[in-house]
A = this chain, B = another copy of it.
Amino acid sequence: MKSHTIYLTKSVPARMDFVNITSDVAKAVAESGVKEGLCLVNAMHITASVFINDDEPGLHEDYKRWLESLAPFDPGRERYHHNRTGEDNGDAHHKRQIMGREVVVAITKGKLDFGPWEQIFYGEFDGRRSKRILIKVIGE
């Protein structure tokens, strides 16, 4: 069994935004030499997500408004008790649960085995600082 581990670092200028990391993941798969296996991609921070969906700016705007309606940014200490720790990112911990921590993608014949529109995104909900993403490839 082969394995390959890559840590990406992303610094997103906005509080909330989505970054297409598909080419980073495809590169890690190619480097691994794995022809048949699995690829895990996860946010290493708990106010961020990795998810698969469409690379379409209108959809990303929709996601932002929708997540804001489900878990609004609010730096006060009433809506989010988490902010009583001195943080202001209670909302980001909720948004991340909707969008998910990780994806697991099949590797077939040496490539990410994707449907026609699948793209991998890093979802940032408390940005403006560097955070890490883990890519782990295992297989043969």
Is A127 an interface residue when CB atoms closer than 8 A count as contact? Answer: no
- Give chain B residues whose Cβ lies under 8 Å from the Cβ of A53: 46, 93, 96-97
Query: What is the interface residue range for chain A against chain B?
Result: 35 or more
Copies in the complex: 3
Judge whether A102 and B101 touch: CB under 8 Å: no
Of all A-B residue pairs in the complex, the 6 with the closest CB atoms, nearest first, are A44-B115, A58-B81, A106-B136, A3-B36, A59-B82, A58-B82
A interface list, Cβ under 8 A from B: 1, 3, 5, 36-38, 40, 42-46, 51-54, 56-59, 61-63, 66, 70-71, 79-85, 90, 93-94, 96-106, 108, 113-118, 131-132, 134, 136, 138-140
